[in-house]
Amino acid sequence: MAAIAIAVSFFIIIVAVAVSAGFRNVIRDGVAAMTGDVRIQPYVSGTGEDPVSMPAQLPSQEKLLALPGVVGIEPVAVRAGIVKNGDIIHGVVVKGIPGQAGNDVMAGPDRPSLSVSIPHRLSEITGLGIGDDMVTYFVGEKVRVRKFHITAIHRDLVEVDDNLLVYANLADIQRLNGWDEGQVSCLDVTLNEQASRKELAGAIGHILATSGHEQEDGLYVTSSEDSYQQIFDWLTLLDFNVLVILVLMTVVAGFNMVSGLLIMLLRNIPTIGTLKTLGMSDGAIGRLFIRIGARAVLKGMLIGNALALLFCLVQGTTHLIPLDPANYFVSWVPVHINLLWVILADAAAFAGILALLWLPSRVVASIDPAKTVKAD
């Protein structure tokens, strides 16, 4: 029974760690798709009636790409617009990205002109779907109208009604804004998983501020954590909850194992008395029972890990357990197995349980061999 309790505890620990890592990966990727991990843009917003441009290629771009953790820099053109379908009118932000961009919903150099991917929420509001034409009005010195063709529907991480992001071709939005191919609204910087967004934002900002190039004056740098601070605060709270689960499950598993070891000690009092009579020390006898308990812990840990990994494999491939995206940002429970974190969680829990096993081992010292050893 103790081994079963250990298996259940380790199952919960590994699943909790995997879910925490899954949320962090999915949310990081989702935010990066909208704003990049770090964004370089003019101080004046370029999404309104009078779009403001910046160079698509900065003089310090090679220095920025040489920073540890920087994977790439993507030029982006954005423009606020109004979508009309029948009597339904709704505001959107159209984001133009390059044809070779890594965005799943709009990747590919052969995309036709004026093709777009719209968010799922916009599709629900307007009734537009794949294959439909989307008439969009852009207000400026004069009203411009574009008829986009919907080729995909995507789910953004944040799909509230005032933050609906439509993906389009970069060249289409540049032409709409009256720019040439060297003008963009901003540059989205992609980082690797290990990089700190805030630290890299500071480093990029320092390079631009001290470069001395006129083209880089008037630019500022923000990280995705600054743009979506509430989401990353929620992730921090989730990580804290995982830590609480780790401690609680370790304590529960430890006390289950303590009770199991006490039962084992009490059932073997005559044996303990015999071992003492033969000259075995209390410490040696205690360590013997701890080794027996450790084998049970190891057995339960292996079973719990195997079941947890199997669960994560099924959930990761089938998205069996759903979530409400209005509360959790994603529509399923994301899981990600980070072997390093799994090993660290196992090691911490195993060490904690073994530490608790020292408590029942002290019962050995109170056993008097003269009272426990009986001659037949």
Q: Are strands 88-97 and 165-169 parallel, antiparallel or unpaired?
A: parallel
Q: What tokens appear for 28 in the block?
A: 């990081």
Handedness of CA 238, 72, 103, 339 (dihedral sign): negative
Average pLDDT over every residue of 8-26: 87
Neighbours of 323 (CB within 10 A): 15
Is residue 42 within 8 A of residue 52, CB to CB? The reply is yes
* Among 39-48, 97-106, 190-199, 235-244, the least confident range: 97-106
Can you give the pLDDT at residue 184? 93
pLDDT digits (tens, 9 = 90+) for 103-120: 455 544 556 788 999 988
Can you give the pLDDT at residue 67? 92
pLDDT band at 273 (very low <50, low <70, confident <90, very high): confident
Neighbours of 89 (CB within 10 A): 12
Can you give the pLDDT at residue 238? 82
**Residue 357, pLDDT above cutoff 90:** no
Average pLDDT over every residue of 177-184: 90
Q: If you average pLDDT over every residue of the chain, what do you get?
A: 83
Can you give the pLDDT at residue 372? 64
Return the closest-CA partner of residue 222 out of 209, 208, 205, 235: 205
| Helix axes of 229-267 and 282-318: crossing angle, nearest 10 degrees | 140
Handedness of CA 310, 315, 320, 323 (dihedral sign): positive
Q: What is the pTM of this model?
A: 0.71
**Residue 170, pLDDT above cutoff 80:** yes
**Residue 100, pLDDT above cutoff 60:** no
* Span between the terminal Cα atoms of the chain, in Å: 33
Is residue 23 within 8 A of residue 238, CB to CB? The reply is yes
Return the closest-CA partner of residue 262 out of 108, 115, 367: 367
Can you give the pLDDT at residue 101? 40
Q: How far apart are CA 255 and CA 250, in angstroms?
A: 9
DSSP string over 7-33: HHHHHHHHHHHHHHHHHHHHHHHHHHH
